[in-house]
Structures are given as structure tokens and as C-alpha cells.
């Protein structure tokens, strides 16, 4: 199985062309779309979506990630293999974010032009490098044929922000993803979830007490509340409404988590 993750959208032919290249080289490949609606050039969003999704696919799946602000430059294209999965991505930190959970057993720089389309466009490596490389790997070409090995420490750092704790015990995080419903996913992973309703989530002028178990369990039909979402992250939501619109929220804005032990 080959799974595609890009910021290409569906207005243009780019995604279909990549699938055409894969199908030409590897006709039996099953091709799935994770999403093509990553915000343009947003490597942190791509990293977050991949990190929260890959585990739900069969072992051996090849994930092809083309969110590539550095396309056409000297940035590397890398193949990473773990015990269970395979990944192709620009070396911009997207795959580095997975390493705490998925230890790499093989990292290859993809540079053998034998496995590229000719000529290689400076602006569409998804078609000319990523798609054919994935197809050849799916056909059984050894990763080592694609190029030389790389050390993990040579790769770009993860673009995902990490929460930090202040001297008072509060956790400071930020909004890292906003879905189509307007729900605000944070990088706070519920370190106070065991505290149940006593935790407080602070965003702008809102103080949200406790974590709801379901969207329909909100105290107010139009007010924001906090919930632990399917990414196992604390999320700010509005039942049948958009927290993004109501709170005028943007990615990168600070969210604070106060646990009972940090209350004055």
C-alpha cells in the first residue's frame, strides 16, 4: 500500500499525475490518500497529521509525504524505514517527528536518478522523484539502490513545537492544528487528564474547566469547552459550532493547562 500526504489540494492535476506515475511502474499498488489539504508549505501541520495517522495503516505501508517548500533546492529527499513502516519525504523534519515512537532502522538519501522520471522538473519532484521511487520500492527494489545511508543526527529537526512547564507547574502549549469543523487541537497531550474535571485550560480570556468526554456534553450549546480528541491531544471545541470563529483563533496561539497541583 502507498499512502499520499501532500499540500497540493485537488483543484490541480498534481495528485492524479503522481498516482498515474505510480500505477505505470507498479500497476498492482493500492494507493490511498491521507489528505491533500495540508496548508500550503506547512511542514508542522503535515508532521502532526502523519504522526497521528500512520499507526492505523497496515504494516509495510509506504507513506509518501510531499509538503516541500524546498523543492528544487539542495535539500535532501529521504527514505526512512522502521520496524513496521516505510516513509518518503523531504528532509525538513516531518519524519524526525516520528522517531520517538518509530525508531528508524534504515535511513537512505534518495538520489539515484535511475529511479527518477526524466527530465526531472525543479518544481514537481512529487511526480518525478517521489512517485517513481515509491513505486519501485513497492515493486521490491532494495532501498540501498536508491542512494547512500544517512545518520539520524544528520536530519533536520522536527518542526513540531513542544509544550513546556513553568515554575508554578502550568503547562504552556499552542494550537497546532485546526480541522474543518473549527476545532482547535493543541500540543498539550492531557498530562492532567487523570485529574478529571479539576484541570483548567486557558485560552485568551476563556477559562475552560475540566475535559468533556463528548462534544454533546458541553455546558453551553454555543460556548467553548475542552475535550481529549482522537489524536490524544487537548482540543478546544464548540458543540455544533466553530471554536475557530467564535474565539478568532489562529495556529500558534498559546494555550495554558493548569493542573490541580499547580493551583494557588
Quick: pLDDT tens for 5-25: 999 999 999 999 999 999 999
The bridge status of strand 200-203 relative to strand 206-209 is antiparallel
Q: What is the pLDDT of residue 199?
A: 83
**pTM of this structure:** 0.91
CATH of domain 2-154: 3.40.50.10790
Whether residue 263 is predicted with pLDDT greater than 50 in this model: the reply is no
Which CATH superfamily is 164-262 part of? Bacterial fluorinating enzyme like (2.40.30.90)
2-154 and 164-262 agree in CATH topology: no
* φ, ψ of residue 49 in degrees (nearest 5): -65, -45
Q: CB–CB of 117/132 below 8 Å?
A: yes
Start-end of H helices in 39-159? 43-53, 125, 131-138
Where along the chain do its domains lie?
2-154, 164-262
Q: What is the pLDDT of residue 79?
A: 98
Quick: pLDDT tens for 246-261: 999 999 999 999 876 5
Highest mean pLDDT among 1-15, 158-172, 224-238: 1-15
* φ, ψ of residue 206 in degrees (nearest 5): -95, 135
Amino acid at each position: 500500500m502507498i499512502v499520499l500526504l501532500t499540500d497540493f489540494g485537488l483543484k490541480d492535476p498534481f495528485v492524479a499525475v503522481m498516482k498515474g506515475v505510480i500505477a505505470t511502474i507498479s500497476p498492482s499498488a493500492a494507493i490511498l490518500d491521507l489528505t491533500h489539504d495540508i496548508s500550503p508549505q506547512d511542514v508542522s501541520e503535515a508532521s502532526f497529521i502523519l504522526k497521528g495517522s500512520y499507526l492505523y495503516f497496515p504494516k509495510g505501508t509506504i507513506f509518501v509525504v510531499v509538503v516541500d517548500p524546498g523543492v528544487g533546492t539542495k535539500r535532501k529527499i529521504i527514505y526512512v524505514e522502521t520496524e513496521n513502516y516505510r516513509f518518503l519525504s523531504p528532509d525538513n523534519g516531518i519524519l524526525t517527528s516520528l522517531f520517538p515512537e518509530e525508531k528508524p532502522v534504515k535511513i537512505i538519501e534518495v538520489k539515484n536518478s535511475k529511479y527518477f522520471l526524466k527530465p526531472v522538473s525543479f518544481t514537481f519532484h512529487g511526480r518525478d522523484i517521489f512517485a517513481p521511487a515509491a513505486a519501485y520500492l513497492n515493486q521490491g527494489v532494495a532501498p540501498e539502490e536508491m542512494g547512500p545511508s544517512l545518520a539520524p543526527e544528520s536530519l533536520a529537526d522536527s518542526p513540531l513545537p513542544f509544550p513546556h512547564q513553568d515554575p508554578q507547574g502550568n503547562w504552556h502549549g499552542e494550537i497546532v492544528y485546526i480541522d474543518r469543523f473549527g476545532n482547535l487541537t493543541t500540543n498539550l497531550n492531557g498530562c492532567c487528564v487523570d485529574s478529571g474535571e479539576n484541570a483548567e485550560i486557558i485560552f485568551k480570556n476563556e477559562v475552560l474547566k475540566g475535559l468533556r468526554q463528548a462534544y454533546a456534553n458541553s455546558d453551553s450549546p454555543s460556548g467553548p469547552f475542552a475535550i481529549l480528541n482522537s489524536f490524544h491531544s487537548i482540543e478546544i471545541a464548540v458543540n455544533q459550532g466553530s471554536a475557530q470563529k467564535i474565539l478568532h483563533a489562529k495556529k500558534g496561539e498559546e494555550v495554558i493547562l493548569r493542573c490541580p497541583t499547580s493551583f494557588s
